[in-house]
Amino acid sequence: MRRKTMEELDRPSAEEVNKSAKNPLIVILDDVRSMQNVGSAFRTCDAFAVEAIYLCGFTPQPPHRDIHKSALGATETVNWQHFPTIEDAIRSARNDGYQILAVEQVHNSVMLQNVNYQGTKTALIFGNEVTGVSDKALSLSAGCIEIPQWGAKHSLNISVSIGVTLWELVRVNTSNR
């Protein structure tokens, strides 16, 4: 086996990425406290060509060197906005025609592998590293997606949760790219 070179990877420039088609997904970060998690969210959203990231409440915002360390330039290729409250972010996404779903362990959630995502405009809420998605955000969501887990911890780092969720939702559409 041989590692692919940068030329073989044929990566588009930031300008080309900014002009390219996006998956109609918004990732909403609800009071996420870690700058590294925010940077990782940007990098993952870039990888899956997500429409935008909404940062809410005390979620750190670029530019910041600790976000940049894990984002590796993705803050330049993923559209983002900051909202003072989760309600403001949800209202904006809803006004733009997005269905609102939280990624959280709740009663009556839909297991991730059973979500029937058809490429419709969807905003996914990911919550604080300790307390999860806020009760306010849960009350404003159309439903909840749960990532199945079998270990003792029953939780994943938010950046892992974002990656797992986005992969599962967009993988059926990868043949179109």
For residues 106-132, give the mean pLDDT: 95
Q: In this predicted model, what pLDDT tens digit does every residue of 150-164 receive, in sequence order?
A: 999 888 999 999 999
Statement: residue 80 has pLDDT above 80:
yes
Q: In this predicted model, what pLDDT tens digit does every residue of 23-73 receive, in sequence order?
A: 999 999 999 999 999 999 999 999 999 999 999 999 999 998 999 999 998
pLDDT recorded at residue 6: 81
Task: Please list the helix, strand and coil fractions of the chain in percent, rounded to the nearest 5, in that order.
Answer: 40, 20, 40
Q: Which domains does the chain have, with CATH numbers?
A: 19-171 (3.40.1280.10)
Backbone angles phi, psi at 123, to 5 degrees: -105, 125
User: What's the length of the chain?
Assistant: 177
Question: Strand (E) positions, 34-162?
Answer: 50-56, 79-83, 99-103, 110-111, 122-126, 143-146
Based on C-alpha coordinates, what's the Rg of the chain? Answer: 16
